Amino acid sequence: MKLDLRKEFQTIFDSTEIPRIFFAPGRINLIGEHTDYNGGHVFPATISFGTYALAHKRDDQKLRFFSLNFTHTGIIECDLSHLAYDEAHDWANFPIGMIKFMRDSGFIISSGMDILFFGDIPNGAGLSSSASIEMVTGVLLEGLFDLEIDRVKMIQLGQQVENNYIGVNSGIMDQFAIGKGKKDHAILLNCQTLDYQYAPIQLEDHVIMIINTNKRRTLATSKYNERRTQCEQALADLQRELSIESLGDLTKEQFKQHMYLIQNKTNLKRAKHAVYENHRTLEALQQLQQGHIDAFGQLMNQSHLSLQLDYEVTGIELDTIVHTAWEQPGVIGARMTGAGFGGCAIAIVEKEQVEHFKNTVNTIYHQKTGYEATFYTATIGDGARELIEGVI
Ligand code: GLA
């Protein structure tokens, strides 16, 4: 069924104005998990699912938000002069936070707006629906108010909204991927320097499957922040002897030589993951560039095991999906993607085996966990931008 978003806008806001339409995708991460806030590398790509935002300027200072995904909250209203976090604003805290942080950085947003959101990213699935809302708000403000804003600045403001307004201590991967995404490419990003390069993803006879465990990510924020603190403690221990700024500065050898400095056993495991995952990510890019897709898949599998055993962010649902995926014919590699604690896995699967893959993985998954998995074929699309077409 087609959805005419402009018509929806006019009905909801009782308006005859023709709004402009903006889009920001969600993302998957091919490899390099929980490395961004450790000063390491990540390798994400933007997908075709995302968040649409339709907006029109108002003559007054009022901001009105409506989401077709959360119709029960109705129109959420606030004023440009009152942009503080407010629980009553519910999901609208994401765009309000972005408006606030853009204004606080000196960008002139002079009037109110009506904004309609619609997202087709499965919610709570670890595909970055929140960064997608932040970034779609960023490009919307840029477009509506003719702002000259460097894209990396917008990305950094998105991360600050997450860290200092919403209260999740996340790294920069999601906003960066979404802000800079490129069709048919993944981005290798050095999260310490923000140097990046695009790498074409041409898998020929294979596709990237996204598998949603449909297990909502419970307690994800507190466990995420806890992992981050554990890594910071491990880093502080290592800094007693090493002059490093982040775990991403370490070679594997340096880590082996100095890991005795990390006093807490749990922190040691967390740091080990961060260091090895960073090197796996760099190696993965090389393997991909040389066309060694099997070796790339092996690195994905190792990444999952490390996230399962050392970083402990997977859980029975993700482990069942991934371990079952490994056993299927035509599977090159599979791993969890995103923060973990539920959410989605990805797998590189031979096109001819996709149907068999879906059926078998889902049957076993359902038997073991009671949940049904949902399968999507990932299409790698462009990053946050304005659209012309309003019918989707
Ligand atoms: C979440 C965070 C990212 C990153 C991943 C784990 O998606 O938002 O910054 O840390 O988890 O790799």
**Does residue 391 carry a pLDDT above 90?**
no
pLDDT bucket at 388, cuts 50 / 70 / 90: confident
Output the CA 29–ligand 1 centroid distance in Å.
9
Residue 34 Cα: closest atom of ligand 1: 12
Output the CA 59–ligand 1 centroid distance in Å.
38
Alpha-carbon distance 324 to 339, whole Å? 20
Per-residue pLDDT at 176: 98
34 lines ligand 1 (CB under 6 A): yes
Q: Which residue has its alpha carbon closest to ligand 1 atom 11?
A: 339
Contacts of 243 (CB under 8 A, 6+ apart): none
- Helix, coil or strand: residue 251: coil
33 lines ligand 1 (CB under 6 A): yes
Output the CA 175–ligand 1 centroid distance in Å.
10
From residue 329, give the alpha-carbon distance in Å to each of 196, 284, 325, 379, 390: 34, 22, 9, 22, 41
Residue 36 Cα: closest atom of ligand 1: 10
Strand partners, 97: none
Structure-token match 């090389």, residue found: 286
Alpha-carbon distance 56 to 73, whole Å? 20
Alpha-carbon distance 32 to 284, whole Å? 9
Per-residue pLDDT at 32: 98
Output the CA 239–ligand 1 centroid distance in Å.
24
Q: Are 323 and 304 in contact (CB under 8 A)?
A: no
Structure-token match 């108002």, residue found: 58
Provide the mean pLDDT of the chain.
96
Alpha-carbon distance 156 to 161, whole Å? 9
Query: Considering the chain, what percentage of its residues have pLDDT values greater than 70?
Result: 99
Output the CA 125–ligand 1 centroid distance in Å.
12
Q: Are 274 and 247 in contact (CB under 8 A)?
A: yes
- Helix, coil or strand: residue 165: helix
274 lines ligand 1 (CB under 6 A): no
171 lines ligand 1 (CB under 6 A): yes
176 lines ligand 1 (CB under 6 A): no
Q: Which two tokens stand for residue 190?
A: 């050095």
Express each pLDDT in 191-208 by its tens digit: 999 999 999 998 989 999
Output the CA 33–ligand 1 centroid distance in Å.
7
* Vertex 286 angle, CA 283 and 288, to 5°: 110
- Helix, coil or strand: residue 340: coil
Residue to substitute in 46, 173, 175, 191 for testing ligand 1 pocket (most ligand atoms within 8 angstroms of CB): 173
Q: Which two tokens stand for residue 160?
A: 């600050």
pLDDT bucket at 135, cuts 50 / 70 / 90: very high
Express each pLDDT in 63-107 by its tens digit: 999 999 999 999 999 999 999 999 999 999 999 999 999 999 999
Q: Where are the alpha helices (DSSP H) in 145-219?
A: 151-160, 173-180
pLDDT bucket at 218, cuts 50 / 70 / 90: low
Pairs from 376-379 (Cβ < 8 Å, separation ≥ 24): 376/49, 376/209, 376/210, 376/212, 377/207, 377/208, 377/209, 377/210, 378/28, 378/45, 378/47, 378/48, 378/207, 378/208, 378/209, 378/210, 378/346, 379/47, 379/48
Q: Which two tokens stand for residue 60?
A: 């007054």
Rg (CA), the chain: 21
Per-residue pLDDT at 230: 98
Span 230-238, average pLDDT: 98
Candidate CATH numbers 1.10.10.10, 3.40.47.10, 3.40.50.720, 3.30.70.890; the one for domain 206-378: 3.30.70.890
pLDDT bucket at 219, cuts 50 / 70 / 90: low
96 lines ligand 1 (CB under 6 A): no
Q: Which two tokens stand for residue 265?
A: 């056993």
Alpha-carbon distance 40 to 335, whole Å? 19
Express each pLDDT in 244-295 by its tens digit: 999 999 999 999 999 999 999 999 999 999 999 999 999 999 999 999 999 9
Helix, strand and coil in the chain, % to nearest 5: 45, 20, 35
Express each pLDDT in 360-385 by its tens digit: 999 999 999 999 999 999 999 999 99
Express each pLDDT in 316-363 by its tens digit: 999 999 999 999 999 999 999 999 999 999 999 999 999 999 999 999
> Comparing C-alpha atoms, which of 344, 388, 65, 381 is closest to residue 215?
344
Q: Are 329 and 356 in contact (CB under 8 A)?
A: yes
Output the CA 36–ligand 1 centroid distance in Å.
7
Q: Looking at 247-342, which runs of residues are DSSP E strands?
A: 331-337
41 lines ligand 1 (CB under 6 A): no
Candidate CATH numbers 3.40.50.720, 3.90.1150.10, 1.10.30.50, 3.30.230.10; the one for domain 5-200: 3.30.230.10
Q: Which two tokens stand for residue 323?
A: 């371990």
Per-residue pLDDT at 241: 97
338 lines ligand 1 (CB under 6 A): yes
User: Which residues participate in catalysis according to the annotation?
Assistant: 174
Q: Looking at 58-101, which runs of residues are DSSP E strands?
A: 62-67, 76-79
Residue 130 Cα: closest atom of ligand 1: 8
Q: Are 227 and 274 in contact (CB under 8 A)?
A: no
> In the chain, where are the structural domains located?
5-200, 206-378
339 lines ligand 1 (CB under 6 A): yes
Q: Which residue has its alpha carbon closest to ligand 1 atom 9?
A: 171
Q: Measured between alpha carbons, how far apart are the two ends of the chain, in Å?
A: 9
Express each pLDDT in 3-32 by its tens digit: 999 999 999 999 999 999 999 999 999 999
173 lines ligand 1 (CB under 6 A): yes
